[in-house]
Amino acid sequence: MSGRHKKTAVRWLSTLVAFVAVAIMLFPIYSIIVASFESTVTLFSTKFHFFPYHPTLANYQTVLLGTQSGTATSVTISGNQLGHVLTSFEIALGTALLTLAISVPAAYALAKYRLRVTVLFVGALLLAQIVPSIVLATSLFAILLKTHLVNTLPGVIICDGTYAVPFGILVLRAFLFGLPNELMHSARVDGASEWQTFRMIVIPLARSAIVTVAVFAFLAGWGDFIFALTTLNGASFEPITLGIYSFLGNYQANWGAVMAAGVVALVPAAVLLVIAQRYIATGLTAGAVKG
Amino acid sequence: MESQAGGASPAPANTGTGHAPGSSGIGSLLKLSGASKQRLAGWLFLTPAIAYLLFAFALPIVYNVLLSFERDSLSTIGSINAPWAGFFNYTAMFNDQIAQSAIVHTLVFTVGSLAGQFIIGLSLALLFSNRFPGRTVARSLVIVPWLVPLIVTGVIFRFMFQQEGGAINQILVGTGLIHNPVDWLGTTSYALLTVTIANIWLGVPFFTLLLYSALQEVPAEVKEAAMIDGANPWQRLRLVTIPIILPVIEITFLLGFVFTVKVFDLVIGMTGGGPANATQLISTWSYTLGFQEFNFGEAAALNNVLLVAALVCAPLYLLLSRDQLRRSSGAGR
């Protein structure tokens, strides 16, 4: 047997193994999508159907329009989830904007200005990434209570920023190191103020890193559960992640609604994966800290 | 990871030496006179971040220490004059059997998750280092689980591991690996294992991606030399590849550890800490104590244990991140 044949065999074997690995990694996501189209009766039967059994849109109807599809579940649906989707979107967008507003100028200061605090501050950012969210959540709840920000959008957005701000500053700073100093230098010589240099030179050149950070901050805000759970305790609005949790119920999950709401929660991640894959891969290897 | 196109460019403050092309004497004079103005601008750019870090990190951590020495209820949590409790919350916590078991569960969960994530992640990274048809597609699909909101991952796994109608039991019974469906999440002996499996699934993309990019840096000549010397694949991996990528393995484990000790959503979605607290972690028990039993004092004490556990790796983390810190001395290098 020649070496070439052996090599070809190894290649196709690798493909096979990779296919199995990818199938295992994607199966949970596949199963929630299939389940979201099953009827409540099917979901509560003792058999899982690997392929759609009697596909129906009833669960999506329940989740998006708030109408219960007349089958034997005792779970009541509180209003429709379109409001939840909107709330999630507002929180995610707010988190992205807050993160950019804080981290872009800070990263610039830490990369291109000689400040005494730089070492200390970068060290603090590295440590901030380690702090578990639940540790922050208990005290932030008390602090937001005092500042009357409990059950408000700004309150939960400030909390969600803890996922993305330290990460954003570090990623942007690493990127800004790469910009030649001559650019800022010549802008200054031409009479640009520090702010103008930042706005007209630095921001446009850092666009790709800014998009990376924005995508991550958006996904962090969209997927947040801890801070929504702790700071929106009794608010008139809640994000989709809390909606899913309430469908789980105390005793018996309303699987149809859980599955459909779960798929809805997956949509932005899927969309961003397709349109911003390059940025996501960059962010991941930059040592993203999530959760 | 870190682009450094301008690595050798001169810093603004010392361009007057005449070595930098394109910087005239007048330019450097102007800049020197603007040095303090520049420093002020730098501080202004940094101010929002300083304010945010103080409000959202420093204040909560300090407040948490304060809470842990107070007797707090929902009515006093917002006020400073809650009754002082001394070490009461700490003794209460260390005598709390659920808190004790939560600490043990967190340890088991973390060690089990990291071991599984490393073995599977390294295997996949090695696999993707070979050239084969479909490699690029497979590699980008493997990161998909990373993007799923954690609470959604929790409910998916809860659904899949149901005793009746769960996909996992159906596959295992169908292939004859087990005879009767297992109540994965309903029995105390299996529940922690099951949430660990879910967390391994969650962390594999991260390990795969980081280890894969490290493997790309291993020089081909080194591997060929080892092959010529007659090393078998296992020896090549153990004696050549792993020592070379060891720094990346270290940082990956470190970040993996940091992610894992704070897992919350996944367990809340899968089990809520049950059955009979069998999957109660420090994070979930702290939440239950604080937000369901309004025992904020003991919750804060437990939070401090979690914080210390997470910060145990801080010196190592800073050491491994020393590149980022060393570059702090200013622009260019």
Is the pLDDT reported for residue B30 higher than 60?
Answer: no
Residue B57 vs residues A130, A213, B126, B283, B323: alpha-carbon distances, Å: 11, 20, 39, 17, 24
Name residues whose C-beta falls within 8 Å of residue A166's C-beta, 6 or more positions apart in sequence. Answer: A125, A126, A128, A129, A289, B53
On the 0-12 / 13-18 / 19+ scale of CB atoms within 10 A, A205 is middle
CA B188 to chain centre: 27
Task: Return the H-helix or E-strand segment holding A258.
Answer: helix A255-275
Is some CB atom of chain A closer than 8 A to the CB atom of B177? no
Largest interatomic CA distance in chain B: 85
Higher pLDDT residue, A165 or B84? Answer: A165
Is the pLDDT reported for residue A51 higher than 50?
Answer: yes
Q: Which residue has the tokens 């440590």?
A: A127
Residues of B within 8 A of A165 (CB-CB) are 49, 52-53, 56
Q: Is B20 inside any structural domain?
A: no
Is the pLDDT reported for residue A268 higher than 70?
Answer: yes
Q: Which of B13, B170, B318 has its CB closest to that of A126?
A: B318
Higher pLDDT residue, A280 or B58? Answer: B58
Q: Which residue has the tokens 């004497």?
A: B25
Over residues A92-115, mean pLDDT: 94
Q: Is B14 inside any structural domain?
A: no
Residues of A within 8 A of B38 (CB-CB) are 113, 194
ipTM: 0.87
User: Domain of B244?
Assistant: 96-329
What tens digit of pLDDT does each residue of B278-317 get?
A: 999 999 999 999 898 888 889 999 999 999 988 888 888 8
Q: Beta partners for B319?
A: none
> How many domains, chain B?
1
pLDDT at B88: 87
Highest mean pLDDT range out of A84-93, B28-37, B322-331?
A84-93
Mean pLDDT (chain B, rounded): 83
Q: What CATH number has the domain bearing residue B191?
A: 1.10.3720.10
Mutate to test the interface with B, among A11, A19, A44, A48 (most CBs of B within 10 A): A48
Is the pLDDT reported for residue B147 higher than 50?
Answer: yes
Tokens of A282: 């960059």
Q: Is B176 inside any structural domain?
A: yes
pLDDT at A191: 87
Q: Is B11 inside any structural domain?
A: no
Over residues A46-58, mean pLDDT: 79
Give the CA dihedral A99, A108, A288, A233, nearest 10 degrees: -20
CA–CA gap between residue B304 and residue B27 (Å, rounded): 53
Q: Is B249 inside any structural domain?
A: yes
What tens digit of pLDDT does each residue of B76-95 get?
A: 665 666 778 788 889 988 88
Over residues B156-184, mean pLDDT: 88
pLDDT at A285: 55
- How many CB atoms lie under 10 A from the CB of residue B199? 26
Is the pLDDT reported for residue A245 higher than 80?
Answer: yes
Tokens of A238: 């809640």
Q: Is B13 inside any structural domain?
A: no
Q: Is B35 inside any structural domain?
A: no
Lowest mean pLDDT among A54-63, B148-157, B280-289, B323-332: B323-332
Q: Which of A145, A186, A272 has its CB closest to that of B78?
A: A145
Helix axes A207-223, A277-285, angle to 10 degrees: 80
